[in-house]
Chain A
Amino acid sequence: MSARKPSPIAVLLLDRFVASEALRGDLIESGAERSTAWFWHQVLAALLAQAIWSFRTTPRLTTESVLVATAMLALIGFNAVVVANLLSQLFLLNDGAWILDSGRYAGWQIYATVPLFAIAVMSGRAIGALHREHRVWAILGCGLSASTAAFVNFYLFVPSVPLQPFIPNPAQQTAVALLFAGGLFMGISSRSACEPLPSL
């Protein structure tokens, strides 16, 4: 049987969230000989086991970390949505009437979350590679990517954005932007020494 390369996303998740180096190595070694389904099953089980272990050993710290990380990503996501909304208003002011045609794929937003997350991870990896030593550029790159993604998201999935209330479906749009920001940081932290934006 020829050796297969395991999914890079699964390997990334393992490296970011599973503490045991030996377990990570064992999974990657076994993954080369087993099916993709088997590998993902093992990776998800390892992530779950790590989460349970973290909550058991340091419950307060883990809970605080999860809450702070979620709040931080939600804040960044909300900022991106606000910027995207302002951009759409700006386009309309400058005769960008095409923005009125937005929302052609309304109803498909839920299906776009997986490719959106993958794009976010790849963008994060690119930012991490380009700006390994320059935190300010990495922060600006993250902000620009998140705002662009939020704008594209508006254009594709939200009908007539500029004619709607200031932010249409704010919770839903923030959740999507939060997902993007999470993917972005996962990507950037896999390549870069930069910390994920505590100063924003």
Chain B
Amino acid sequence: MILLSILRVGDEAYGVPIAREMETTGDRTVVLSAVYTALDRLEENGLVSSSMGDPTPERGGRAKRFFRVTPTGLKAVRQTRKALTQLWAGLAQLEGGRS
């Protein structure tokens, strides 16, 4: 979900818009520190890369950290979509939008 949110936000993907995207699409409150914990793990695994931006006054002079999905991350997203599509297919309980 985080990888998809970064892709949807695009070049301006830092913590705030990523969390906002997750809140909007997931319809739930997101804890920013949990997002950063997940992003750090994704970076350790080479699925995202990050770079520090310039400090801005509205953040009290604190810099933004911009995230980008790496080619490995893109590959992982595609593989996950494929796996989910296969798992989804043929499940009678999920047909017709009823729970």
With known contacts A22-B14, A22-B63, A30-B16, A46–B32 Cβ distance under 8 A: yes
Of B19, B36, B59, the residue contacting A20 (CB under 8 A) is: B36
With an 8 A cutoff between CB atoms, is B44 at the interface? Answer: no
Q: Which of A1-58 contact B (CB under 8 A)?
A: 3, 11, 18, 20-30, 32, 38, 41-42, 45-46, 48-50, 53
0/1 string, B57-68, CB within 8 A of A gives 1: 011101111000
How many residue pairs, one in A and one in B, have C-beta atoms under 8 Å apart? 64
Which B residues lie within 8 Å of A28 (CB)?
59-60, 62
Of B33, B55, B56, B58, the residue contacting A23 (CB under 8 A) is: B33
Q: Which of A99-124 contact B (CB under 8 A)?
A: none
Secondary structure type dominating chain A contacts = helix
Which A residues lie within 8 Å of B32 (CB)?
23, 26-27, 30, 42, 45-46
A-B contact pairs, 20 of them (CB 8 A): A3-B58, A20-B65, A21-B63, A22-B15, A22-B62, A23-B32, A23-B33, A24-B62, A25-B55, A25-B56, A26-B15, A26-B59, A28-B59, A42-B32, A45-B31, A46-B32, A49-B33, A49-B34, A49-B37, A50-B33
CB-CB nearest 10 A-B residue pairs: A25-B62, A22-B65, A26-B15, A25-B59, A46-B33, A49-B33, A45-B31, A29-B59, A45-B33, A26-B16
Which A residues lie within 8 Å of B62 (CB)?
21-22, 24-25, 28
Chain A residue, CB-CB nearest to B65: A22
Count of chain A residues with a beta carbon within 8 Å of a chain B beta carbon: 24
0/1 string, B5-42, CB within 8 A of A gives 1: 00000000011100100000000010111101100000
**Could you tell me the distance in whole angstroms from the C-beta of A159 to the nearest C-beta in chain B?**
45
Please give the residue numbers on chain A whose beta carbons come within 8 Å of chain B beta carbons, in ascending order: 3, 11, 18, 20-30, 32, 38, 41-42, 45-46, 48-50, 53
With an 8 A cutoff between CB atoms, is B52 at the interface? Answer: yes
**Could you tell me the distance in whole angstroms from the C-beta of B73 to the nearest C-beta in chain A?**
19
Which A residues lie within 8 Å of B52 (CB)?
22
Please give the residue numbers on chain B whose beta carbons come within 8 Å of chain A beta carbons, in ascending order: 14-16, 19, 29, 31-34, 36-37, 52, 55-56, 58-60, 62-65
Which A residues lie within 8 Å of B16 (CB)?
26, 29-30
Q: In the complex the two chains form, is A22's CB within 8 Å of B36's CB?
A: yes
Chain B residue, CB-CB nearest to A21: B62
The CA of A49 and the CA of B34, in the complex, are separated in Å by: 8
